[in-house]
Amino acid sequence: MKTSVNGWMVGGFGGEVPVAQAAKTAKELGYDAIELCFGAGELVPEASASDLTKLRKEIECIGIEIASLATGNYWGKSLSSPDKAERAEAVAFTEAYINAANCFGVDAILVLAGSVDVAWDPARPVVPLKKACEMSQKSIRSLIPLAEKKGVVIALENVWSKFLTGPFELAAFVDSFNSPQVMVYFDAGNCLINGYSEQWLEVLGKRIKRVHVKNFTRRDGGGTLADFTDSLLKGDVNWPAVFQGLKAIGYNGCLTAEVIVGEKGMPNVEQSGRVCVEMKQLIEQYG
What is the structure's pLDDT at 252?
Answer: 96
Full residue range of the structural domain in which residue 147 is found: 2-286
What is the structure's pLDDT at 8?
Answer: 98
Contact by Cβ (8 Å): 135, 115: no
What is the structure's pLDDT at 221?
Answer: 85
pLDDT tens digits, 139-197: 999 999 999 999 999 999 999 999 999 999 999 999 999 999 999 999 999 999 999 99
The answer to whether the peptide bond before residue 267 is cis (omega within 30 degrees of 0) is: yes
Q: Which portions of the chain are predicted below pLDDT 70?
A: none
Structural domains counted in the chain: 1
Contact by Cβ (8 Å): 68, 61: no
Contact by Cβ (8 Å): 173, 165: no
DSSP states of 56-94: HHHHHHHT-EEEEEE-SGGGTS-TT-SSHHHHHHHHHHH
What is the structure's pLDDT at 65?
Answer: 98
Distance in angstroms (rounded) separating the CA atoms of residues 175 and 169: 10
* CATH assignment at residue 188: 3.20.20.150
Quote the pTM value: 0.98
